[in-house]
Amino acid sequence: METITKITGAEAFMRALVAEGVDTIFGYPGGAIMPVFDALFDYDKDLNHILTRHEQGAAHAAQGYARVSGKVGVCLVTSGPAATNAITGIGDAMLDSTPMVVITGQVASPLLGTDAFQEIDVVGITQPITKWAYQIRRAEDIAWAVARAFYIARSGRPGPVVIDFAKSAQVQQVEFDYKPCQFIRSYIPIPEVNPGQIEDAAALINSAKKPFALVGQGVVLANAEAELKEFLEKADIPAAWTLLGASAMPSDFSLNKGFLGMHGNVAPNMKTNECDVLIAIGMRFDDRVTGDLNTYAKQAKIIHLDIDAAELGKNVKPDAPVLGTAKETLPALTAKVNSAKHTEWIESFSEFQKLEFDKVIKREVHPENGEITMGEVIRRVSEATDNEAILVTDVGQNQMMAARYFNFKQTRSMVTSGGLGTMGFGIPAAIGAKMGAPERTVCMFSGDGGFQMTIQELGTIMQEQIGVKMIILNNHFLGMVRQWQEMFFDERYSFTNMLNPDFIAIAKAYHIAGTEVQKREDLDAAIADMLKDDKPYLLVVNVEKKGMVFPMIPAGASVTNILLGD
């Protein structure tokens, strides 16, 4: 008689993660997830667990890992406050289409609904901000749930999935039989390309005199960067990128015309309201890009390529919607468009580029005197890495300046919090980015405010010796809020002035090298010292206290209502 071998649910969970190709987990142990962590103890050769200092940090680190590696990020935490601490990262991942599986511990099944210690309705809380949320109550459901979770997280438009894992299921005995998930009834992750939609879009492009492409993160998520370039070059179409679409095109690509949106470049914003055909590729017409929808590209025929049918017509009604992944729709469109030259149209961008250089960039990147500016620090760091580094940002002025002045040669080189705008994202996301691409230099820019929101993750960097390069652009203010107070609230600086600690002393306490720069003439040497090896480093640069991010389109204004400062 054959003996049937059974293992614990926790052991089955480990085997399922290995079967899904997981190699890195970011997490924090606790009572309701302890059997899983006990099983993890024997999987140290297969699964590298990174102990963060806070569950929010674990979620953001999983995001950073996913964004640069293209794999599913994994976060493992316990129940109650641990699960709620991870909520910010889950919501951030949902808005930014980041593939992530978050496993939360839960009280034993017999205690569910009794308000037991550290019990909270994780599935109920996270359903609105996940692609799928599921509670495992029986060990026999583990393999099925894990397979389904990873399939949903990575397929189609990616996003976060939550598995709430009852402690009783972790200790039950179960026969383990794992089958990867490849199909879910009624779930169509990659829609079939409609040839009629391609024909309609191609006809508009072939008749265009002033076509203009807007490139979003959908291109990166689809691994369609080469297909994008081929399409743009054949039809000779200038293109600009959203915040999350940064690095989809190399910065020096001849048809790359810059950054869209509130703090984007003048030329692409102005040309949005001059083009005759606007081609949106894997972007969602976010309000930070469109400004006032009543005045947005009213003169243009709109083509919108997106994998998510819910995005087509949500904000801007397209004349030619194209449903599908950019990996398939772009080549199909390229085959139908004519080879073209739009020389005069493309050259017309240069007038606005010169205006912006003279009014904004020259002062920000090449100041002749005065205090150090954010822009010059960012550009010098980018150039010192030969524009090969991964850029991670926190949120605020540092984020917008970094998007404007950091340059890219490689794809998957921009990690930032777009839709949710999460201060404190920077440090843990940089940890994840470095774990996801250990061979690359990771430069994280933060303001003094955001840095202190997850400053405890310096402990994670210390323990794992993660070689992230952290740059604080220190202006002793909550800079972006202060900018709005100066511009729109009569300079009433209500609770934005910050008394900061000695950041270098704190870094030293975590055995992280660092230096502080006060003078411009010391900046290049400090950057060189930071980049000389692959060890963690903190560079604090004291920048102008009341620096402003220009250009700026006021919230709700037309994309052509651009303020250039003085």
Verify cis geometry, omega within 30 degrees of 0, for the bond prior to 211. no
Give catalytic status of residue 230 as yes or no: no
Active-site position among 71, 131, 167, 229:
167
Active-site position among 374, 401, 414, 480:
480
- Check: CB of residue 345 under 8 Å from CB of residue 243: no
Active-site position among 11, 20, 55, 225:
55
What's the number of CA atoms in the CB half-sphere (13 Å) around residue 70? Answer: 10
Q: How many CB atoms lie within 10 A of CB 412?
A: 21
Number of separate helices (H) and strands (E) present in the chain = 25, 20
- Check: CB of residue 52 under 8 Å from CB of residue 61: yes
What's the number of CA atoms in the CB half-sphere (13 Å) around residue 236? Answer: 14
Query: Distance between CA 425 and CA 416 in Å, rounded?
Result: 8
- Check: CB of residue 317 under 8 Å from CB of residue 300: no
Query: Distance between CA 99 and CA 154 in Å, rounded?
Result: 5
- Check: CB of residue 86 under 8 Å from CB of residue 56: yes
Give catalytic status of residue 55 as yes or no: yes
3-state secondary structure of 33: helix
Edge-to-edge strand order for the sheet containing 513-517?
Answer: 414-415, 390-393, 442-447, 469-474, 537-542, 513-517
Active-site position among 6, 117, 362, 465:
117
Residue appearing with tokens 């009213």: 298
Give catalytic status of residue 271 as yes or no: no
Residues in the chain: 566
Task: State the Cα torsion 486-487-488-493 to the nearest 10°.
Answer: -10
Locate 87 and state its tokens.
């909520």
The secondary structure of residue 193, as a DSSP letter, is P
> Residue 55: in which H helix or E strand, if any?
helix 55-69
Query: Distance between CA 230 and CA 217 in Å, rounded?
Result: 17
Active-site position among 118, 127, 410, 456:
118
Query: Distance between CA 154 and CA 418 in Å, rounded?
Result: 19
Output the DSSP codes for 290-311: HS-GGGSSTTSEEEEEES-GGG
Give catalytic status of residue 167 as yes or no: yes
Give catalytic status of residue 117 as yes or no: yes
Beta-bridge partner residues of 303: 279, 320
- Check: CB of residue 416 under 8 Å from CB of residue 365: no
Q: Report helix angle 397-405 to 479-488, nearest 10.
A: 100
Q: Where are the alpha helices (DSSP H) in 421-540?
A: 426-436, 448-453, 458-464, 479-488, 503-509, 523-530
Enumerate the active-site residues: 55, 117-118, 167, 480
